[in-house]
Amino acid sequence: MSKVRVRFAPSPTGSLHIGSARTALFNYLFARHMGGVFVLRIEDTDMKRSLREHEHSISRDLHWLGLTADEGPDVGGPWGPYRQSERSHLYEEGVQRLLAEGHAYLCFCSQERLDDVKKAQLARGEMPKYDRQCLSLSAEEVESRLAAGEQATVRFKVPPGQIEYQDMIRGHLSFASDVIGDFIIKRTDGGFSYNYAVVIDDMGMRITHVIRGEDHVTNTARQLLLFRALGEEPPTYAHHSMIHAPDGGKLSKRHGATSIGEFRDLGYLPEAMVNYLALLAWHPGDERELFRLPELVEAFTMERVSKSPAIFDIDKLNWLNGVYMRELSPGRLYSQVEPFLHEADMHLEPGQREVVAAAIQSNLVTLADAPTYAEVFTADVDLKDSPHLAALREPGVTQVFSLLEEALAQFYDEYLSVEDGRAVVRMVAGACKEHGIKGRSIYLPLRVALTGRNEGAELYYLVAGLGRSRVLARLEAARAYL
């Protein structure tokens, strides 16, 4: 087929791990760059662990990242169904065809016998694999044992020879088929093996390229054999590296958040997550590091995906997240931080919201930091607990307070815009200059009076975002300490 078709095929047995999310991203970028189709397929044949709530969670996380599928369970498409649990009839048809054509056979061996065979092979220093005891059973014996109620698996008959293919990332790969052993494609419970089901799915969904983690390299050998037996041209494969923890080991919960949902709940932006995941093993070819999703689509090529392990660096992600947050308008930033403020039981009036967002924007590493920096605009101030009362004894403080009150009197709204807040501070600074009152005696006493602190948001943000009533009340309260 001339049109590229790729698939992201998660198992709904848990949340979307960042490693899986990067696989989805690489598939999405390749498909979009090539003008192809991005398919979402749910591999839910593990009935004990697969839950629809996990499927919904994965779909939600993909949507949050901006990775919208062209075909899938939620959007449909011409080659569905897109859940493996709804494709059993297609798997059964393939099994019967492999049996009829001599590429598969029934195996009646018990698990106890298989375990004994494996132990004996290991004791001899051999690679464990099925010893093909049931391959030589006659058709009559097979029928007789089935009629007697014996249960059987279906095994694929692995042909001799080398299994070779060209990986888009790893180059030429070769496997000896004699170390694989005849593997099961249908279990005694009627379920179908992963390696078999994905081949039927990739065939049926016309998948042209399979982009996935290097942990699937050995699976590819089995899948190529199945494609050959079914007379179909296999997809082109690309196996990217895994994401490792900073200590070089497997990324796990002990290193912190590992799922997309966790990072979202910690206050990371989807733009930052997408940008960061793309840079894990993909190199743009220059020093550029900031890429929004459309820019990644334009720049992405498989030739620039490294086969070396990617090391997860939370500092790099934090830096990217900060960059993207500082690009947001105050209105959009407030909409992003509002859930975190709400969770902290912090309420901002409509007139405060954009001012507060602008005031805290440069301090944020994640959205979850917002309550820490926004607290100054909502919390009450009790100056008796402030360690900075000495600032209220600077020369001319009484006059500074009065000048701020006079400047505020020229505005009528409860909450000022940032520009009006700047104008008020400029008025106070200009009047203070005329009275010979200088810097430290202006700004530090006002900050302490309004917040009880000696550092924080710029004074014009405080004047604008605290509101006239609160500013005047705090100035009056501070006079008791002059």
Give residue 254's pLDDT.
64
List 166's β-bridge partners, or say none: 172
Separate counts of helices (H) and strands (E) for the chain: 19, 11
User: By the 8 A CB rule, do 205 and 41 touch?
Assistant: yes
Cα separation of 50 and 43, whole Å? 9
> Does residue 2 have a pLDDT over 80?
no
- At 278, the pLDDT band (50, 70, 90 cuts) reads very high
Q: Position of tokens 């004894």?
A: 393
Question: DSSP secondary structure string, 320-332?
Answer: HHHHHHHTS-HHH
Which CATH number is 1-71+241-327 given? 3.40.50.620
The average pLDDT across 275-295 equals: 93
Number of residues assigned to the chain:
482
Equal fold, 1-71+241-327 vs 87-240 = yes
Give residue 23's pLDDT.
97
Give residue 285's pLDDT.
83
Two structure tokens written together for 318: 């934090």
213 contact partners, CB below 8 Å, separation of at least 6: 19, 23, 239, 240, 241, 242
Where exactly are the structural domains of the chain? 1-71+241-327, 87-240, 330-481
Two structure tokens written together for 333: 């930033």
Question: DSSP secondary structure string, 389-434?
Answer: GGGGGSTTHHHHHHHHHHHHTT--SSS--HHHHHHHHHHHHHHHHH
The average pLDDT across 70-76 equals: 96
> Does residue 143 have a pLDDT over 70?
yes
> Does residue 236 have a pLDDT over 70?
yes
- At 95, the pLDDT band (50, 70, 90 cuts) reads very high
For 198, counting Cβ atoms within 10 Å of its Cβ (0-12 exposed, 13-18 middle, 19+ buried), the class is: buried
User: By the 8 A CB rule, do 243 and 280 touch?
Assistant: yes
> Does residue 1 have a pLDDT over 60?
no
> Does residue 395 have a pLDDT over 60?
yes
CB atoms within 10 A of CB 309: 13
> Does residue 48 have a pLDDT over 80?
no
The percentage of residues in the chain with a pLDDT greater than 90, rounded to a whole number, is 86
Range in 1-15, 32-46, 408-422 the model is least confident about:
1-15
342 contact partners, CB below 8 Å, separation of at least 6: none
CATH class of 87-240: alpha beta
Q: Helix, strand, or coil here: 38? A: strand
Note the Cα 481 to chain centre separation in Å.
Answer: 52
> Does residue 255 have a pLDDT over 70?
no
- At 298, the pLDDT band (50, 70, 90 cuts) reads very high
User: By the 8 A CB rule, do 6 and 210 touch?
Assistant: yes
Backbone phi and psi for residue 429, each to the nearest 5 degrees, phi listed first: -65, -40
Give residue 394's pLDDT.
85
> Does residue 257 have a pLDDT over 80?
no
Backbone phi and psi for residue 10, each to the nearest 5 degrees, phi listed first: -80, 155
Cα separation of 29 and 35, whole Å? 10
Sheet of 209-213, strand order: 37-40, 5-8, 209-213, 236-240
Label the pairing between strands 209-213 and 236-240.
Answer: parallel
The average pLDDT across 392-403 equals: 91
The average pLDDT across 256-278 equals: 94
CATH 3.10.450.50 at 330-481, yes or no? no
The average pLDDT across 363-381 equals: 95
The percentage of residues in the chain with a pLDDT greater than 70, rounded to a whole number, is 99
The mean of the pLDDT values for the chain is 94
CB atoms within 10 A of CB 457: 25
For residue range 203-224, what is the model confidence (pLDDT) as tens digits? 999 999 999 999 999 999 999 9
User: By the 8 A CB rule, do 381 and 452 touch?
Assistant: yes
Active-site amino acid positions: 253
Tally the C-alpha atoms within 13 A of residue 265's C-alpha that lie toward its C-beta: 8
Two structure tokens written together for 50: 């697969």
- At 256, the pLDDT band (50, 70, 90 cuts) reads low
Cα separation of 250 and 195, whole Å? 24
Give residue 253's pLDDT.
66
Between CA 97 and CA 100, with CA 99 as vertex, the angle to 5 degrees is: 65
User: By the 8 A CB rule, do 408 and 471 touch?
Assistant: yes
Q: Helix, strand, or coil here: 41? A: coil
> Does residue 47 have a pLDDT over 90?
no
Cα separation of 346 and 190, whole Å? 55
The C-alpha R_g of the chain, in whole angstroms, comes to: 32
Two structure tokens written together for 278: 């793309």
